[in-house]
């Protein structure tokens, strides 16, 4: 078994073979989408063998989240969905609505990124329901009506806040925290926001659970896990990003 709370430099296809069966509580993947001319973006590891290895190391209660794209430049969603759905049970597709866009002159402005959610076992996956609510209060006037059993619909509301939907429009691309902007994050091409990662981790794990990220990148998954009292294993093949992520983890208290 690989040592915990560490970022490993290497190929995830090889290193995942060193992880024990049924040991991982949550898997978060952010593979290259093959949308740029950068060398790192041409490396596609997603295949049936890799999916099977992920399935092997996952606990019965494990969820798998895979960042992906859909559009003319990125069709990773279309390529990867049949590979994962062969072994994993598909639950939902989340769209992250960004606040900045990019795109070609002839086409719609591209402001979305996709996130596939799978589970290993549809009857056993962890769902911490108390974390599924946003900071937006409900309009209780919409629930002032009687049900067939004679009770008021408002009596069945579990939280005064609205539930989070599968369209995430409340998360900015940049990583802000209580101490200001994290300058190190600028060095990575496609960092995923701490808020999105902590949302996933809070919903699907409990304290001290183990999270696997096979494309460690900026190290945000490790920061998010540490902030929430979870353990982690990160794998990253680029020397620069491994060094950067390790520096960030050493100073993780800056992100609390």
Residue ranges making up the domain that contains 74: 6-129+164-255
Kindly state whether residue 152 falls inside one of the protein's structural domains: no
CA distance 35 to 72: 9
SS3 label, residue 98: strand
For the residues 101-109, what does the mean pLDDT come to? 78
Kindly state whether residue 214 falls inside one of the protein's structural domains: yes
Mean pLDDT, the chain, whole residue set: 84
- pLDDT tens per residue across span 42-98: 667 899 999 999 999 999 999 999 999 998 878 899 999 999 999 999 999 999 998
Torsion of CA 71, 76, 79, 83, to 10 degrees: -140
Kindly state whether residue 140 falls inside one of the protein's structural domains: no
Kindly state whether residue 147 falls inside one of the protein's structural domains: no
Kindly state whether residue 107 falls inside one of the protein's structural domains: yes
For the residues 244-253, what does the mean pLDDT come to? 72
Asked whether 166 and 94 are in contact (CB, 8 A), the reply is yes
Distance of CA 113 to the CA centre of its chain: 12
Which pLDDT belongs to residue 255? 45
Kindly state whether residue 1 falls inside one of the protein's structural domains: no
- pLDDT tens per residue across span 140-183: 556 666 666 666 666 666 777 889 999 999 998 764 443 433 55
Which pLDDT belongs to residue 29? 97
Kindly state whether residue 153 falls inside one of the protein's structural domains: no
SS3 label, residue 82: helix
Backbone angles phi, psi at 132, to 5 degrees: -95, 10
* Residues sharing a CB contact under 8 Å with residue 203, sequence separation 6 or more, in sequence order: 126, 127, 128, 131, 132
Number of domains in the chain: 1
Paired with 112 in beta bridges are 97
Confidence tier at 37 by pLDDT (50, 70, 90):
low
Higher pLDDT, 201 or 130: 201
Distances in Å between the alpha carbon of 128 and those of 51, 62, 94, 184, 192?
25, 13, 18, 32, 22
Confidence tier at 106 by pLDDT (50, 70, 90):
confident
What CATH code is carried by the domain that includes residue 107?
3.40.50.150
Which pLDDT belongs to residue 135? 86
Which pLDDT belongs to residue 177? 45
Which pLDDT belongs to residue 21? 97
Confidence tier at 246 by pLDDT (50, 70, 90):
confident
Kindly state whether residue 31 falls inside one of the protein's structural domains: yes
For the residues 5-9, what does the mean pLDDT come to? 87
Output the pTM of the full model: 0.86
Confidence tier at 36 by pLDDT (50, 70, 90):
low
């Amino acid at each position: 078994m690989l040592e915990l709370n560490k970022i490993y430099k290497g190929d995830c296809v090889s290193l995942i073979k060193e992880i024990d069966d049924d040991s991982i509580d949550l898997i978060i993947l952010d593979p290259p989408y093959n949308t740029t001319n950068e060398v790192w973006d041409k490396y596609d590891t997603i295949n049936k063998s890799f999916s099977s290895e992920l399935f092997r190391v996952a606990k019965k209660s494990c969820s798998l989240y895979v960042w992906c794209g859909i559009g003319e430049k990125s069709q990773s969603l279309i390529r990867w969905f049949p590979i994962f759905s062969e072994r994993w049970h598909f639950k939902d597709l989340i769209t992250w609505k960004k606040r900045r866009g990019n795109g070609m002159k002839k086409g719609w402005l591209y402001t979305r990124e996709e996130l596939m959610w799978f589970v290993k076992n549809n009857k056993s996956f962890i769902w911490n329901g108390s974390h599924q609510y946003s900071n937006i209060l409900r309009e209780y006037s919409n629930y002032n009506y009687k049900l067939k059993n004679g009770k008021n619909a408002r009596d069945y509301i579990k939280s005064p806040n609205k539930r989070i939907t599968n369209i995430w429009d409340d998360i900015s691309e940049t990583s802000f925290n209580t101490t200001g902007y994290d300058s190190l994050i600028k060095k990575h091409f496609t960092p995923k926001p701490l808020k999105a990662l902590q949302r996933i981790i809070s919903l699907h794990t409990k304290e001290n659970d183990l999270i696997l990220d096979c494309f460690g990148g900026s190290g945000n998954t490790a920061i998010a896990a540490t902030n929430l009292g979870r353990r982690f294993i990160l794998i990253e093949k680029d020397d620069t990003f491994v060094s950067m992520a390790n520096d960030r983890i050493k100073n993780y208290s800056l992100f609390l």
